[in-house]
Amino acid sequence: MHHFQYKGEELFAEDVAIKDIVAAVGSPVYIYSKATLERHYKAMDDAFAQAPHTICYSVKANSNLAVLKTFINLGGGVDIVSGGELYRALAAGVDPKKVVYSGVGKRDDEIAYALESGILMFNIESEQELDRISDIAGRIGKKAGIAIRVNPDVDPQTHPYITTGLKKAKFGINIERALEQYQRAKGLANIEILGIDCHIGSQLTKVSPFVDAIKKLKRLLDGVRGMGIDIKYLDLGGGLGIQYDDEAPPLPADYGSSIQEETKDLGLHLIFEPGRNLVGNAGILVGKCLYTKKGEEKNFVIVDAGMNDLARPSLYGSFHGVRPVFRNQDGVIEGDIVGPICESGDFLVKEREIPNFRQGDLIAFMSAGAYGFTMSSNYNSRPRAAEVMVDGGKFEVVRDREKLEDLVRGERVPSFL
């Protein structure tokens, strides 16, 4: 469910006409619906109402301060993968005791920053990382809360780039070796063992892989408790998918019911790290048709948004629905929607049936709230897009469009040139 709907022949974000936003801030522009963000968070939170839990939003999906603040105001925490994400979350007002820190490559300065900030726990991804966090915690006089991220070797049946729970993945510690790492952690004076962590992948459209992973984790939990270790948290990560095209992912209520049934007797506080599920369908990217072009073999619609603005189609071959901001096109055509980047891989839509757009038409690329702006870049020296949040009948810019001078900020010509 989202709040981007037509009123008559014109597309609105909640009660604001998309054309009015573009008139005020230009294009391309990312537009987020506050009502949709809140609806999705509450659906996930309500799904686990019968269990002690914390929703730690995965910042990497969309790190805009307004998005973070929306979830924090609802009682949410965050899952971070860098010191920069921690900085953003703290700036948005997160309770440090609702912060979990994942990621395979935590630097010394990032670890120290997280310890000084008083986060809840680190999700440990390797043996060497465990030792490093212990050493840094001892050096600065802190005790580090940790969970070991367990790789359960469960196939999430999703895109290989966003599969994280198989043996060949770079993430986590193999479940067969996890017990010995818990035993090692128990002997480290500056480590406090708090939980078990598992994240098997993203954009899952079935509940069964989550359940399969939990069954394996329960056996591990028995072994850890048998060592006399008091586990308090079970972090089950995120990964529940959304509808981009014709997918039919489980509803949060169904997901919650299955997870609670599988974990009801464990006596643990559950942590979830949803990202895409909360923000994906809460955002769109709006661009303008610059030109249309009929090639020898296909039709092209050339827009002012490119792979630097929305990388997912070029990177993953991902599908994003396309809607005209005004439904006044003359039929449909088969073709590509491409951007201005000097790459043949610069496309937002490839070989699909699309409206017969005309020069000047505004085009909304749907389900762009997750991994849209956060993956954008300045490739081809293009300023990054503005971001806007809508709340009912009003909207505000929540990130200014970059200016040309922003492209060289921090650069300098050396004295020897």
- The C-alpha atoms of residue 123 and residue 81 are separated, in whole angstroms, by 10
Active-site option among 56, 198, 289, 342: 342
Residue 316 marked ligand-binding: yes
Residue 276 marked ligand-binding: yes
Residue 223 marked ligand-binding: no
Residue 10 marked ligand-binding: no
CB 120 within 8 A of CB 96: yes
Q: What are phi and psi of 48, to 5 degrees?
A: -115, 25
Token representation of residue 255: 């997901």
User: What three-state secondary structure class fits 120?
Assistant: coil
Residue 261 marked ligand-binding: no
Residue 343 marked ligand-binding: yes
* DSSP code, position 48: T
Active-site annotation holds for 342: yes
Length of the chain: 417
Token representation of residue 375: 């993956």
With CA atoms as reference, report the closest residue to 386 among 399, 405, 404, 403. 399
Token representation of residue 331: 């039929």
User: What three-state secondary structure class fits 282?
Assistant: helix
Q: CA dihedral defined by 196, 72, 281, 166, rounded to 10 degrees?
A: -10
* DSSP code, position 325: S
- The C-alpha atoms of residue 320 and residue 315 are separated, in whole angstroms, by 13
Residue 399 marked ligand-binding: no
Residue written as token pair 């035993």 = 183
Residue 6 marked ligand-binding: no
- The C-alpha atoms of residue 121 and residue 129 are separated, in whole angstroms, by 13
CB 320 within 8 A of CB 366: yes
Q: Which residues contact 222 (CB under 8 A, 6 or more apart)?
A: none
Q: What are phi and psi of 2, to 5 degrees?
A: -145, 170
User: Which positions make up the binding site for pyridoxal 5'-phosphate?
Assistant: 239, 273-276, 371
Annotated catalytic sites, by residue? 342
User: Which positions make up the binding site for substrate?
Assistant: 276, 312, 316, 343, 371
User: Which positions make up the binding site?
Assistant: 239, 273-276, 312, 316, 343, 371
